[in-house]
Structure 1
Amino acid sequence: MKKFGVYLAAVMTLALILAGSSPAADFAGKKILLVDSYHEGYEWSDGIVRGAKTALEGKGIEVKIFRMDTKRQSGEEYKKSVSLKAKALIDSFKPDVVITSDDNAAKYLVVPYLKNTATPVVFCGVNWDASVYGFPCKNVTGMVEVTPVPQLLEQLKPFAKGDRLGFIGPETLTSTKEAENISKAFGLRLEKYFSKNAEDWKTGFAELQNKVDILLVDSDGGLYADQSEELIAFVEANTKIPTGTSYDFMAPYALLDFAKVSEEQGLWAAETALKILGGASPDSIAIAQNKEGKLILNARIAQNLDQEIPYTLIEAANQVIQ
């Protein structure tokens, strides 16, 4: 009887080991290519990659990452040429699924070279509306990125003297599309400023303090990272109105941050890629949108604004910048 118990335990242990290893065994030899529209070191992109790696770790899949770097190199000809390089990598690497992040990969790679082909594509980080690219289609699905503007404005309005809204961001496709979609989706009139560089961003930020009552601060796209200390000091000294953002790495630039979670995008995209590797068809998977968020309060800016922050808001915040 004792021998039988030992034998049974051994069988059960082996079964558990095999069950735990079956996902990796199922996907052994499979390949996934992740095409990032931007660059390593840009916190939004880095979060997407972290999320994807979390889902793919230990699955036995060969993963490659191609970075288009279209934030720092935003010329039209460059975007087209780097997309051709990505397509050449797809032809040589022959991935079983391609994951793309953000709009430029969708616009310059997926639409001209992958849409309605035999290569399954999962996008993430496409701003607001994927139908502008003809998604979904037979081989493409993904997660769009929607900014929680109503939630952000709800928190900011008690600190505002009026209802004029402003928007500031870099002069990029992503930022201009963000402003357009906010206006369209919520019927809001925005006073917009798109900056050419960090100095121009400071000019726009200062101008909008006197033109609007609430300012929405878009991601800088990592373009001004080298001047972040200077810009944060400028913001703290020159903020006169309530400001809000939706990226955790932009929290030092705004009074309130209702932050989207980039890891959510990468995790969903990679888990969807696994479903496709498991036999699901892309056109059977509905387009999703982000749901996660965290509230960050910048007490340094609140102090400079001479605003009394309700205890309920402090208590609700996931993070307070002191």
Structure 2
Amino acid sequence: MKTKVTLLLVGIILITIISGCMTTGSTITESMATESPTKDIKVGEASTKTFEGKKILYIDSYNAGYEWSDGETRGIENILNNTGVELKILRMDTRRNDSEDFGKQEGMKAKSVIEDFRPDVVITCDDPAFKYVIMPHYRGAALPVVFCGINWDVSIYGAPYENTAGMIEVSLTPQLISYLKEYSKGDRIGFIAGNTATDRKNAEYYTKLYNINFTRKYHVTTFEEWKRDFLKLQEEVDIVILENNAGITDWDNNEAQAFVLENTRIPAGATMDWMPPYSLIGITKIAEEQGEWSAMTALRILNGTRPSDIPIVTNKKVRLYLNLKIAEKLGVIINPEILKNAEIIQ
């Protein structure tokens, strides 16, 4: 029987991650005290296995063109290519339409697709697909489900179930804040992000799991609001966490980079792979890891492993970024250890 995942378990795993050490290069990989999800099928062997006639349905909570979803999709496709598996992709588009009613409607559509396609395994990426498809329609069902990208805690959905295996998505924000404090004049921490359910959940769990108390916290919907509140934070706090900009519909990358470079007066940090151009340091999650793990786990299930025998894990890889333009703007001298390991943005 799979043990119920709780915040305590996630907290223990995070301590394991944070207490680890960096590898050389731009990817940080930490060891995890869990069974390898790919012990039955190695990555290099996946293409030599034959799963002809087997079907996997991948349900993306969001949309093609969103960087995180695209990374998860690449990870899944990289593993499943040449395995013989028939892969079908369904996009729910809940990032651009995040109402409860829309989510339930898309959940019913996904249920119809499952009934028509009759997959051997379903992969769900991110919270909405699990919340609106698996929890109401396939909880404890015969259909095996592999989830990834669920932020922080699956117990809010009553999971894990007997028919599920999965990877929880976490951020190494305390480590990011620790780096930023080397270049700040105080300890006040600010937060700015889009006004999506995921962004609000992240802010909540930073406090719940990490005991991070934000002096100022802003959730915005437009680029003008983001610029306004970014300027406020330069006066209100000493460190800024720049969370996801995905919920900001009129975001302009070039204008944002120019605006940040002109107006940055305090160190900022990024947790998403596309936000380092606007921050001093980024310690970011890797979407491909979620997709690759999910696809490999789906192959394990097709190979006969029961979902309930596969431990829940968290992501264990991040990329380290350093923005030299912003470092120069702030007049900071960068720790050589960061320079040695970071991917440089100039």
TM over 0.5: yes
Q: Distance in 1 between matches of 2:87 and 2:328?
A: 47
Partner secondary structure for residue 210 of structure 1? helix
Query: 1:296 is matched with which residue?
Result: 321
Q: Which of 235, 239, 252 does residue 210 from structure 1 map onto?
A: 235
Residue type matched to 1:201 in 2? W
* Alpha-carbon displacement from aligned partner over 1:139-197 (angstroms, at most 9, x marks no partner): 11200011011221121111111111111111101000001111111111112110022
Residue type matched to 1:162 in 2? G
Query: 2:288 is matched with which residue?
Result: 263
Q: Which runs of 5+ in 1 are unaligned?
A: 1-18
Work out whether residues 190 and 237 of structure 2, in 8 Å CA contact, stay in contact via their aligned partners in 1. Answer: yes
Q: Distance in 2 between matches of 1:123 and 1:84?
A: 18
- After superposition, residues 83-122 of structure 1 pair within 5 angstroms as 83-122=107-146
Percent of matched pairs sharing the same residue: 46
Query: 2:269 is matched with which residue?
Result: 244
Structure 1 residue 223: Cα displacement: 4.2
Say whether residues 1:178 and 2:202 are aligned partners.
Answer: yes
Structure 1 residue 308: Cα displacement: 2.2
Q: Distance in 2 between matches of 1:284 and 1:239?
A: 49
Residue type matched to 1:192 in 2? K
* Alpha-carbon displacement from aligned partner over 1:39-60 (angstroms, at most 9, x marks no partner): 1111111111111111111110
Relative to the length of structure 1, the TM-score reads 0.90
Q: Which structure features the higher share of helix residues?
A: 1
Count of matched residue positions in the alignment of Structure 1 and Structure 2: 301
Residue type matched to 1:310 in 2? N
Say whether residues 1:167 and 2:191 are aligned partners.
Answer: yes
Work out whether residues 72 and 223 of structure 1, in 8 Å CA contact, stay in contact via their aligned partners in 2. Answer: no
Say whether residues 1:77 and 2:105 are aligned partners.
Answer: no
Q: Distance in 2 between matches of 1:237 and 1:82?
A: 42
Partner secondary structure for residue 95 of structure 2? coil
Work out whether residues 135 and 141 of structure 1, in 8 Å CA contact, stay in contact via their aligned partners in 2. Answer: no
Structure 1 residue 220: Cα displacement: 1.4
Query: 1:148 is matched with which residue?
Result: 172
Q: Distance in 2 between matches of 1:312 and 1:274?
A: 38
Structure 1 residue 76: Cα displacement: 2.1
Work out whether residues 191 and 218 of structure 2, in 8 Å CA contact, stay in contact via their aligned partners in 1. Answer: yes
Partner secondary structure for residue 247 of structure 1? coil
Q: Which of 290, 299, 305 does residue 274 from structure 1 map onto?
A: 299
Residue type matched to 2:131 in 1? K
Work out whether residues 73 and 291 of structure 2, in 8 Å CA contact, stay in contact via their aligned partners in 1. Answer: yes
Q: Distance in 1 between matches of 2:297 and 2:195?
A: 32
Residue type matched to 1:78 in 2? F
Q: Distance in 2 between matches of 1:181 and 1:152?
A: 15
Q: Distance in 2 between matches of 1:21 and 1:207?
A: 52
Partner secondary structure for residue 96 of structure 2? coil
Structure 1 residue 30: Cα displacement: 0.6
Residue type matched to 1:220 in 2? N
Work out whether residues 223 and 251 of structure 2, in 8 Å CA contact, stay in contact via their aligned partners in 1. Answer: no
Query: 1:12 is matched with which residue?
Result: none
Partner secondary structure for residue 232 of structure 2? helix
Query: 1:6 is matched with which residue?
Result: none
Q: Which of 219, 222, 230 does residue 255 from structure 2 map onto?
A: 230
Q: Distance in 2 between matches of 1:68 and 1:204?
A: 31
Structure 1 residue 21: Cα displacement: 7.3
Higher RCO structure (Cα 8 Å, ≥6 apart): 2
Work out whether residues 159 and 242 of structure 1, in 8 Å CA contact, stay in contact via their aligned partners in 2. Answer: yes
Structure 1 residue 271: Cα displacement: 0.4
Q: Distance in 1 between matches of 2:160 and 2:85?
A: 25
Partner secondary structure for residue 215 of structure 1? strand
Partner secondary structure for residue 159 of structure 1? coil
Work out whether residues 169 and 217 of structure 1, in 8 Å CA contact, stay in contact via their aligned partners in 2. Answer: yes
Q: Which of 177, 182, 199 does residue 224 from structure 2 map onto?
A: 199
Work out whether residues 55 and 119 of structure 2, in 8 Å CA contact, stay in contact via their aligned partners in 1. Answer: yes
Residues 144, 20 of structure 1: CA spacing in aligned structure 2 closer, same or farther, 3 A cutoff? closer
Work out whether residues 71 and 223 of structure 1, in 8 Å CA contact, stay in contact via their aligned partners in 2. Answer: no
Q: Which runs of 5+ in 2 are unaligned?
A: 1-44
Query: 1:60 is matched with which residue?
Result: 84
Residues 158, 21 of structure 1: CA spacing in aligned structure 2 closer, same or farther, 3 A cutoff? closer
Q: Which of 43, 49, 73 does residue 23 from structure 1 map onto?
A: 49
Query: 2:60 is matched with which residue?
Result: 36
Could you say what the CA RMSD is over the residues aligned between the two structures, in angstroms? 1.6
Query: 2:212 is matched with which residue?
Result: 188
Q: Which moved more, 1:284-293 or 1:217-226?
A: 217-226
